[in-house]
A and B are shown apart, each in its own frame.
Chain A
């Protein structure tokens, strides 16, 4: 079975621009979560999607938004980029919404904001 794939792997944007990151979940997984990992820190939860709806959100402003599609793939959109948005963005999928909820992560998209 294929794992979680993310694109692009690296990208550079300037402050004020918008970015879209993409994620294909692992086969059989219907829940997708996004995490932001700043350099030298642990990942921080952005939000989770289940059945194409946002189902939990961390402490991130509304300019961070997402989508989940019928095939369970997902997008993370960030508007009005700030320098502090520079980070590794990790997508993770899981087979169910609750319980042990073991997440399978992708390799991430590294965003640099200049």
Chain B
């Protein structure tokens, strides 16, 4: 079956760096998305990886290893506004997004 595994909750300190891991098993693969969702708000797009390696976008970077079924989201210089849930979503062979339950990131001063 198809499965996504990411930590339920993480805590980090303002100004620090945090890495949110995601492992996945899907029927086929057409890339992987990361979304950010603040409480009570819509998920918003952060990144898309389809090839192995690191994609950097400002304070946020996303890494993909297709052979390992593994991705991570790296957040640098953490700010209080980064407190949110982070959703990992690979796309399967039918171009359907398979969603994880998300990682709730808590930033402390």
A and B co-occur in one complex: no
**Interface set of B (CB-CB < 8 Å, partner A):** none
